[in-house]
Chain A
Amino acid sequence: AQSVSQHNHHVILSEAASLELGCNYSYGGTVNLFWYVQYPGQHLQLLLKYFSGDPLVKGIKGFEAEFIKSKFSFNLRKPSVQWSDTAEYFCAVIRDSNYQLIWGAGTKLIIKP
């Protein structure tokens, strides 16, 4: 079955540290890839997305992600995190022939001030 794996369920960092959250998916065909963020008590919001073209995509709030097709990965990065980045981050994948977003389990990120 197709799946999306997020390697870390909880990450704790200090402000100004660099961030990388892993995401791997198991489907080998054409995919659309997303990172969503859920701030405490709020709904999910899109951080960034990849459909085609440049595999390095930039999103809001200084986040970026790199699609590496050979590794089936779409890792999220930020060079210097802030306390306000404390949230839960979800990776999601849509296959070309499917209407359904397949979600990772999420990574809870806590930034210590």
Chain B
Amino acid sequence: NAGVTQTPKFRVLKTGQSMTLLCAQDMNHEYMYWYRQDPGMGLRLIHYSVGEGTTAKGEVPDGYNVSRLKKQNFLLGLESAAPSQTSVYFCASSYTGSTEAFFGQGTRLTVV
């Protein structure tokens, strides 16, 4: 049982480049989330999804887009990367909106 899998684990981008982070879960969870983790700031929610085909903005959505075409996958896109998007990104999923979340291993992104 893989749980929540994120790819890639590391990436270095140049300013202005684009990329997509993939999150896959095999627990049949309805809810999926993308967070960024920055030192001293805890986790901040970027976007989330409450089911296949739905997405919603979180606390810090600017500069990011997401898609949930399949229930098991939640993609996070950066259309034009900026140095301020250097961070560790975590994907999570949960069965409902009020139950515990299961996290992926994280993606360390550096934008130079």
Given A43-B103, A100-B48, A105 and B42 touching (CB < 8 A)? yes
**Which partner residue on chain A sits nearest B6 by CB separation?**
A43
- Tell me the smallest distance from the CB of A75 to a CB of chain B, in Å: 17
Docked CA distance A45–B33 (Å): 15
Q: Tell me which of B66-74, B75-83, B94-102 binds A.
A: B94-102
Please tell me if the beta carbons of A32 and B104 are within 8 angstroms of each other in the complex.
no
Q: Are A43 and B45 in contact (CB under 8 A)?
A: no
Contact status A106-B106, CB under 8 Å? no
Q: Are A100 and B58 in contact (CB under 8 A)?
A: yes
B58 A104 Cβ-Cβ under 8 A: no
Pick the contact of B105: A42, A90, A105 (CB < 8 A).
Answer: A42
Does more than half of chain B's interface fall in helix, strand or loop, or is it mixed?
Answer: loop
A60-87: which residues lie under 8 A (CB-CB) from chain B? none
Which residue of A43, A92, A104 has the most chain B CB atoms within 10 A of its CB atom? Answer: A43
Closest to B31 in A: A99
Q: Does A54 contact B (CB under 8 A)?
A: no
Chain A interface residue count, CB cutoff 8 Å, equals 23
Chain B positions 31 through 74: 1 when the CB is less than 8 Å from some CB of chain A, otherwise 0: 10100000011111100101000000011000000000000000
- Least CB distance, B57 to chain A, in whole angstroms: 10
Instruction: A32 to B99: give the CA distance in the assembly, Å.
Output: 8
Residue of B nearest to A44 (CB): B103
Are B90 and A43 in contact (CB-based, < 8 A)? yes
| A contacts, CB < 8 Å to B | 4, 9, 32, 34, 42-46, 49, 51, 90, 92, 94, 96, 98-101, 103-106
B residues within 8 Å of A by Cβ?
Answer: 31, 33, 40-45, 48, 50, 58-59, 90, 92, 97-106
